Structures are given as C-alpha cells and as structure tokens.
Chains A and B, each alone.
Chain A
Amino acid sequence: MTGNQFTEGGTNMTKVSFKVTVNGRAREATVPPRMLLSDFIRQELSLPGTHVGCEHGVCGSCNVIVDGQAVRSCLMFAVQVEGSEITTVEGLTQGDALHPIQQAFWEEHGLQCGFCTPGMLATAQELLAQNPDPTDDEIREAISGNLCRCTGYEFIISAIRSAAVKLRETDTETTPQPV
C-alpha cells in the first residue's frame, strides 16, 4: 500500500493506493481513506448496480460479496478491500445469461422497484452457497437484514426457494463459483 500527500477538504490526508479484484477483473485505485466501499464501487468503478439506501447499515441494499461473504459496502472503507475479491450484481450475470438466482427472481416476481434487489441477490448468493437447501424460515432469517418496501418479501422467499432448486439441479461443472 502506498500513500501520497494531498489536500482534501482542508485537511492533510493521505490518499491510499491499492489493488482489488472486482467481478474477476483486477483493478487498481487511489482513493482517500474515507471513501466508502459503496461509493468506490458505484463511482470509481462505475458499477452502479450496488445501491445505497441508508448508509447506516440497516437496509442491506448495498450488500456485496467480499471474499465469499455478504457485507454492507456502506460500512466498509474502500481501502479495506485491498487484495480482496469482490462480486457485485454486475458480476453475477454470466455473459448474456442471468444467474440462476436472478432467473428465479424474474420467474417468481421477486422484485418490484428493484432497488433492494442487488443486496437481496448478494444475501441469497451467500445463503445458498452455505445452505443449498434452506427451509423457508432459514430464508426468511437470512434476508431479514435486507429491507424491501415493495414486495412484502413473500415472492422473494419463493424466488430463493426456487433458486435453490435450480442451483442444486445445475451440473456441478457449470455451477457458478461457490462464494
């Protein structure tokens, strides 16, 4: 990690350079330490699929996968992900095809406005990697850290249930990387 002096907001601050892999692509960045990971992903990397709903850790719409785990990107600083692998919703899509979890959200009407959806997908991705055959109550518990104001959650739960079936049925070779 390297630092270079610069003046930001009137305070002497050191920008920090680091490397990170995002959606399989190696990226280098130099940002002020206070830049939130959510802003880094959205603005510096131009990946606006990750959404920001509260910036205080409650809504979960900013959830992304960092080194296999779903985390709040509004509660991490970008500089903390040096050396990490990050998957955002943009990385879930496989070429021209939706990921089976995305496909299940489509089929089961797991989204309305879609604002909570990227965070829900990250949460679902982690859940199904850890527990390929969750009960409805386990799904409910897993997504209880993601607020959705549109759906009443019912169809999100159906979508994750259906995604679990799809993922179990998929040939292991073509299964997306377990997160």
Chain B
Amino acid sequence: MSSHLKSNVIPPSRQREVPRTGMTWIGQSMKRVEDPRILSGKGGYIDDVAVPGMAHAAMVSSPHAHARIVSIDTSKAKALPGVIGVYTGEDLATVADPCPSFAAPPITQHAISVGKVRHVGEVVAAVVAEDRYIAEDAAELVEVEWEILPPNVDLEVAAAAAGDALLHPDDRDSNVALDESFSFGDVDQHFAEAHTVVKRRLRWQRSSAQAIETCGVVAQFDPFKGGYTIHSNSNFYNFIPFVIGGSLRVSPGELRIIPVLTGGSFGSKVFNHKIIILTAGLARLAGVPVKYIEDRLEHFTNSDSHGSDRLYDAELAMAEDGTFTSLRFTVMDDYGAYLQFGVGTHGNAMAQVTGPYQIQSFGMRVMAVLTNKTQQGPYRGFGSEVTNWVMERMVDAAAEELGRDPVALREQNMIQPDQFPYMIPTGNIYDSGNFQKVLEEAKTMFDFDGWRSKARAMRAKGRCVGVGLATCMERSVYGPTEWWSLNNKETPGFTLTSTPEGITVRLDPSGKMFVTLNSPMVGNSPETVVAQILAERLTIAPEDIVFNYSDSQSGFNGVGPQGSRFTAMIAGACVSASIKLEEKLKRFGAHMLQRRPEDVELRNGAVAVKGLKDQEKAFGEIALTSSFFRLSFPDGEEFDSGIETTAVYDHPLSTDPAEDRSHLGIFYPIVGHICHIVAVEVDPGTGKVEILDYTAVHDNGTMVNPRTLAGQVWGGTANGIGTTLSEVFEYDEDGQFTNPNFAEFAMPTANEMPRNFKLGHVETPSPYTEYGIKGGGEGGRLGAPSALTSAIEDALSDRGVKIASLPVTPPILRGLIRDAEQAATG
C-alpha cells in the first residue's frame, strides 16, 4: 500500500447477518408489494394531490441565456380575472432567502431570479391563479424589459470570460467557481518513470434523466400553526427541512414535508429544494395553498438536474509490459449557471476513478466552470458514469498504442480476488469482488470469441460490425463526504458525515406488521425489499406486512434512494429492528409459554419452544395479549404494552478524508462489478448504429430480489444506450436550448433497445453489509456507454474512426466517418 494511505485505517465490519445460501425470502423474485395500487391507478403521485382551496402556479421564464432584468410589469397579468397574485423575485425575497448551496463558498441562487437571469428557462415571475390555464394566460401578459448580457456557452471560453460575461460577479470574480488539484500517491514519479504514457482528450456532453414525471409541489402555509405543509416528490424529504428551513425562514420543525409516490428520479429528484422554496413562498405570498407542477419544458430548462458535461485531458502511465502505474487528468465541467451541490459529482467519481485496475497513484485537477445553462444535478451515476467511460477509453487507447488485445490488457491489470478489501489511491476501498469471474461469465454468455471472429469476417466483407467489452465498477452505498471532500480545504463547507436510514416496525394486535419507511418510493422497490428482509429475519409472511411512509415530522433519519444505497442501508435498519423486536417477542412469548426467553426461538411467525413441535404462540396472539391484557404479564417496564420498535442504521464503513486531502477516506466502499459486451453494426453512410447482441453480467453481492435488480440493470442500460447514441442537450451560440422536448431529445423507445439482451449475475457478498447485499441501481448506465463506444470503434476500425466524445448520434458519427474518409483520400 502506498504510504499516503497508511493513515486510512479500515474499520472492522459491523455485519450481523452473514451471507448464506438457501434463504427463504432473500433471493426470491417475489412480486412487488407496491404494484397493485399503482397498477390500478391509485398510486398517488404529486399531481394527484389536491387540498381544499388550492390554487395553481405558472411561471414566467427567461427567454434569454444571460440578461439583466431592467423592469417587470405585472399589472396586466394581475388584472386578469382568476388571478390571485403575480410575484417577482423581489416579492419572493420578502418571505424567502436564497436557496441553500453546497458550493463553498456558496453561489447565490434565488428560486425566482433577482436582478438578472443566467439561463433560458430561469423563472423571473410567478403567477398564482384559480387554475393552470388562467395562470398561463397571465404569465403571457407579464412584460419584462431586458438588457442582454454576453452568453457563456462554450466551457473553455466561459472559463476565461470577464466583465459582463461573469455569471456571479458578486460571488466570484471568475466563471471558474472551483479549481482544485489533488495528488493521491506518487503521481509525478510514476509518470516520470513510465515507459509509455497514453494521452487522450475526451468529451462527455450534457443530457439528463428526464423521468416521465416532472417535479412538483403542493404547499400550504399556516401562520397560526406556525409553518408549512408541503407535498413533494423529493427523494430526500426527511433531510431537506433542515437544509431549506433557513431559506423559508422557519425552523426545520415547522416544515412538514409529506412524501408521495414518485414517478421516477434517477437522481433528478434528489433534493428538489428550489421548487419547494418557490412553491412554498408563493403559498405564503398568495395566502392560499399552491400547486406547482413543472411542465416538460420547465423540467428541461429549469429543474436543475442536468447531467455531467465534461472535458478531460487524461493520461495513463504504463510500464513496458503494459502494467498501469498511474492515471491523471485535468477535467473541466460545465456546471451551468449555479453550483448547488458543489463538485459532488467529481467527489463521487473518486470512489472508483481507477476502475477495476491496480493503479498505484492518481492525480487530478478539477475545474467547475459556470455557463449560461441550466445547472447540473444528479443523474444515475452521479459523475462516476463519466469516469468509468474515461477509464475504459484510456484502456482501449493503451491497448491500441501498445498493440495489445484490449481484453488481455484488462485482465493483466485487474485487481485479483485475493486482494480485497482493496484500497485505491484516493483512499476509498473496494470491499470485495471477483472481476475475473464476472468477465468469464460475460464472455461465455456472449460467445465473445465467436462473435469477435464473426465480426472480423463480416468486416472483411465490408460490413461495419464490431464488438466492445467494458469492465467497470459500480460503487454503492454512498457516504456524504463525496459532497465536500474536493472543496478547498480552507472552505470545506458543510462537512456532513451521516447518511442514516431508519425504520419503524410495529406488530399490530391483528397480527399485521405495520412498517413505516422514511424514504419514498421512486420506482425502486422499498416495500418489496423490506418485506423480503423482515420476512427472512423474523420468519413472517411478507403479505402480513403493511407499509406506510412517515412525513418529515413523524419520521426520522431517511436519506432516500440515491447513490445505490437504499437496499443495503434499509437492510441494516431491518436487521437492527428485527433484533430488538425478536427480543421483545421472545420475552412476551416465553412468558406466555411459561418458558425462559433463551428456550424459545422464532419459527414461522411464532415464538416457539426450541425442539418442541406444537409449543408456540403466533406473533399475532402475542401482540394481541401484550396490547390488551396487561395483567397477563409481570409488572416492570420490560413488559410495557405493545410490540414496537424503531431502528436506525448508519453507513457501514466510512472514514474521514485526510486533513491535507492526501486521501479522501473511505466513502463508497460497497462495490459491485459489471461487464457489458455488445456487438453493433454501423451503417457508414448514415451513421446509424444497430445493436446486434448485448450481454451484461453484474455482481451486486447478495441479491434480495433478482427480478427487481434485473429491472434496474435493464433500465440503467437503456439510459446508457441513450447517453451513448441519441441523447444530448443542444445549445446554440446565443445559449438557446434548442431541443428541450421529447420529440428532439431522443430517449430510447422499445424499438431502440437490443433485441437480444442477456443478463447474468455473479454474487460476491459484501463482508460489511447485512446478508452481503450491495446496491445495484446505477450499473447499467455505468457500463453501457463504455462497451458501446468500444464496439462502434471496433466496427469502424478499418476506417480509422476514433471516438473521443459522447454521444455519437448518427450525424456526429457520420461526421467522424466522413472526416476519416477525407483524411484517407487526402
């Protein structure tokens, strides 16, 4: 281990439930608990919420990328019948302060802009009216006088801009909001000693999750009961009151956030703080409950959830035999107009930046550039999807320059099964894995060698067929240091280190088990996994469990589904709750059976005497007795009525970043591994790519529900296919966002998905989480872009086409082919 990592000591495992085979519920593809109510149309999404007296909001959005607001005339809009109020940024500022910012030092963002606008779609005024139609009528009547400022569109130009082109002259004297350099290990020395250094400039362009449901809020303000009641489809409802209370000038306790079923997130609804502050502020100003649901255009242009938009200058150092020694890069990231989460997406990428390979050191300069675009937020992968692609691009480039087989080069450099836990140069660890097994499995399923020779033969006949393979990491169970560890050491910001997940479990006298979750359902399967885990641990039937969700006042400690954390974290909470509940059940049950607690065990939903067949008390009977027949039990508080417990689980394995940032500590240690292999055919005349065959093998540790995991892999792969082949946000030179709609921002339909998708699993359980569970919510998008890019490059290898930028839409790919053709003919 490199000496810079010596201080980063791996804590002991807190695992209580060891992985084992032959479990009753864990590992079953049980039908989802959540589905019947959703399938029957009774899910209850944000736009289904209606409260008495509710009015509707519509926004006046900026048509300009960068402009000063000279004046706003709302008089015509206010005069329209049905309009309750029209509010500008100044009006909102009377009840709300700027949005919270994780950038350190912060960058000011108002939910309704004050003074100037910084991207197309930014809100300049809001209308509250009796219905949305009228609100939109009035929004059209608001007159704004603008003074146009120079738009920042290109990230390199923006980085050098000054004067009127500065986005936030009050907060920063440059559009580069953060510029930090790191060296983890002996980077300079490794590069100095390298036999070969491969260099590439790589570009990853902007897109976003675009869940089919947009973000929305229903907010009420009651000055007498002291606070806000807010329905929101945020992922993070138990956490945000603390973050936004200040903005809304109430204590966090005066914010009651009620979750709803959420129509997809993929990161895009992680916080949603701006829309909550906006709608809540409007409700307070208008004096009526207000509903605001983004329409699709607003979701594209103002939802603050654009994905990574990066330019890398990357270098990989190697020894003569192809052994990787060091990786370094400079990365500029176009964050758009604000920096809500600092450079958390780069912090995230530090979890697995060196991929599945043994690389001794890593160095980075990261620059967060502000431009006149909608700001970034999380999108499935949270930045690691980009570094996975960069790493795999660099390995393919190395193979090419060394004249080596790309798969053999990967195998040569891979971390070996006996090296876990393996600490990478940044300080994060990989808890466990068997990358070789995943690779072998994938190659076999795909018939990799067969396909490679088939593709070669087809290329010999003039067809552009190729095969690509990627071996990538899928970190899971995030720790929050990623949000701030790359901030300047002197101004680290809010150095949060907790990501707890809690659960409340109550055994009802009816025999039902009531479970309260503290994180919402966003398309993952929280109820299903909890049902399976509790059923496993407590020997009950999953159908006897009834779910509900706390609100932010009744619940506690929920961080939500993100960072592929929920299943592993809630499993921990379930185990903690089960331990407490088991003890209570045994105490009560043993008393009813006239035995000692140590003589009884849990068996099929009953407390049963060890070794005796018919001596048992069903949980329901115990709950009933303990709830209604107090005198059947001895005095003493250990027999207080009811069988109920609340439990919380903290991150299973994390350490602090080093003070001097020589390493970043352990923060994302539960790693999965994935191998994607794909065969494609390119139509060289049109640049269209057809996927001929696709195999993905994922190792996400112990699988709770193989089918729901498969659903995540497929969905993520579909996202990755879109990211690679068709999805990109286009901005013209004026900063106009030219394709913010579903017709032109082309997300894959069923027609674009591979016909022949094979999915395999390897299970390497984690030694740190309960049952060995790892997260698996992001993997598809973490692997597909790399594999597809390689396949396309392979298909066009005879034409000398190199891919250094994503996406490769047909026009872009055809452009690369055209350039290569022209280069070949001189």
Please list the residues of chain A having a beta carbon within 8 angstroms of any beta carbon in chain B: 7-10, 32, 34-35, 39, 42, 47-56, 58-59, 61, 88-90, 92-93, 98, 102, 105-107, 109, 111-118, 121, 136-137, 139-141, 143-157
B38 and A111 form a contact (CB under 8 A): yes
Q: Closest 4 interchain pairs by CB?
A: A49-B41, A113-B523, A115-B263, A152-B714
B742 and A117 form a contact (CB under 8 A): no
A49 and B40 form a contact (CB under 8 A): yes
Enumerate chain A residues within 8 angstroms of B753, measured Cβ to Cβ: 140, 152-154
Most buried by A among B138, B715, B747: B715
Nearest chain B CB to A90's CB is how many angstroms away?
5
B264 and A145 form a contact (CB under 8 A): no
A58 and B80 form a contact (CB under 8 A): no
26 A–B contact pairs at CB < 8 A? Answer: A7-B81, A9-B80, A9-B133, A35-B133, A42-B47, A48-B41, A50-B41, A52-B47, A88-B41, A90-B40, A102-B39, A109-B29, A112-B523, A113-B265, A114-B34, A115-B263, A117-B38, A136-B755, A137-B755, A141-B751, A145-B749, A147-B747, A149-B209, A151-B711, A151-B718, A152-B716
Contact of A53 among B31, B266, B296, B713 (CB under 8 A): B296
Give Cα A47–Cα B41 distance, bound, in whole angstroms: 8
Closest A residue, CB atoms, query B135: A9
Taking the complex as formed, is B213 at the interface, i.e. its CB lies under 8 A from any CB of chain A? yes
Q: Answer whether A153 and B210 are a contact pair too, CB < 8 Å, given A48-B47, A112-B264, A115-B264.
A: no
Taking the complex as formed, is B449 at the interface, i.e. its CB lies under 8 A from any CB of chain A? no
**Contact-residue size bin, chain B (C-beta under 8 Å from the other chain):** 35 or more
User: Which B residues from 105 to 161 make CB contacts under 8 A with A?
Assistant: 132-134, 137-138
A51 and B213 form a contact (CB under 8 A): yes
B36 and A106 form a contact (CB under 8 A): yes
A150 and B264 form a contact (CB under 8 A): yes
B40 and A114 form a contact (CB under 8 A): no
Closest A residue, CB atoms, query B718: A152
Nearest chain B CB to A35's CB is how many angstroms away?
7
A114 and B523 form a contact (CB under 8 A): yes
Taking the complex as formed, is B433 at the interface, i.e. its CB lies under 8 A from any CB of chain A? no
User: Which B residues from 172 to 214 make CB contacts under 8 A with A?
Assistant: 209-214
Enumerate chain A residues within 8 angstroms of B718, measured Cβ to Cβ: 149, 151-153
B749 and A113 form a contact (CB under 8 A): no
Nearest chain B CB to A101's CB is how many angstroms away?
9
Enumerate chain A residues within 8 angstroms of B295, measured Cβ to Cβ: 55
Closest B residue, CB atoms, query A61: B212
Please list the residues of chain B having a beta carbon within 8 angstroms of any beta carbon in chain A: 29, 31-32, 34-36, 38-45, 47-48, 80-82, 132-134, 137-138, 209-214, 261-266, 295-296, 521-525, 707-708, 710-719, 741-743, 747, 749-751, 753, 755, 757, 780
Nearest chain A CB to B303's CB is how many angstroms away?
14
Closest A residue, CB atoms, query B138: A9
Closest B residue, CB atoms, query A154: B714
Closest B residue, CB atoms, query A58: B742
Contact of B212 among A109, A148, A155 (CB under 8 A): A148
Closest A residue, CB atoms, query B35: A106
Q: Answer whether A114 and B296 are a contact pair too, CB < 8 Å, given A9-B81, A9-B82, A147-B747.
A: no
Enumerate chain B residues within 8 angstroms of A141, measured Cβ to Cβ: 750-751
Enumerate chain B residues within 8 angstroms of A56, measured Cβ to Cβ: 296, 741-743
Enumerate chain A residues within 8 angstroms of B214, measured Cβ to Cβ: 53
Give Cα A150–Cα B48 distance, bound, in whole angstroms: 20
A10 and B296 form a contact (CB under 8 A): no
B212 and A53 form a contact (CB under 8 A): yes
Q: Answer whether A53 and B39 are a contact pair too, CB < 8 Å, given A9-B134, A48-B45.
A: no
Enumerate chain B residues within 8 angstroms of A117, measured Cβ to Cβ: 38-39
A147 and B714 form a contact (CB under 8 A): no
Give Cα A73–Cα B209 distance, bound, in whole angstroms: 24
Give Cα A149–Cα B212 distance, bound, in whole angstroms: 6
Most buried by A among B525, B714, B747: B714
A144 and B212 form a contact (CB under 8 A): no
Enumerate chain A residues within 8 angstroms of B525, measured Cβ to Cβ: 112
Contact of B82 among A8, A34, A52, A53 (CB under 8 A): A8
Contact of A112 among B80, B82, B715, B757 (CB under 8 A): B715
Enumerate chain B residues within 8 angstroms of A55, measured Cβ to Cβ: 295-296
Nearest chain B CB to A120's CB is how many angstroms away?
10
B751 and A150 form a contact (CB under 8 A): no
Nearest chain B CB to A104's CB is how many angstroms away?
10
Q: Answer whether A111 and B749 are a contact pair too, CB < 8 Å, given A10-B80, A52-B47, A149-B211.
A: no
Enumerate chain B residues within 8 angstroms of A111, measured Cβ to Cβ: 35, 38-39
Contact of A113 among B41, B213, B780 (CB under 8 A): B213
A107 and B711 form a contact (CB under 8 A): no
Closest A residue, CB atoms, query B521: A113
Give Cα A176–Cα B134 distance, bound, in whole angstroms: 40
Enumerate chain B residues within 8 angstroms of A93, measured Cβ to Cβ: 40-41
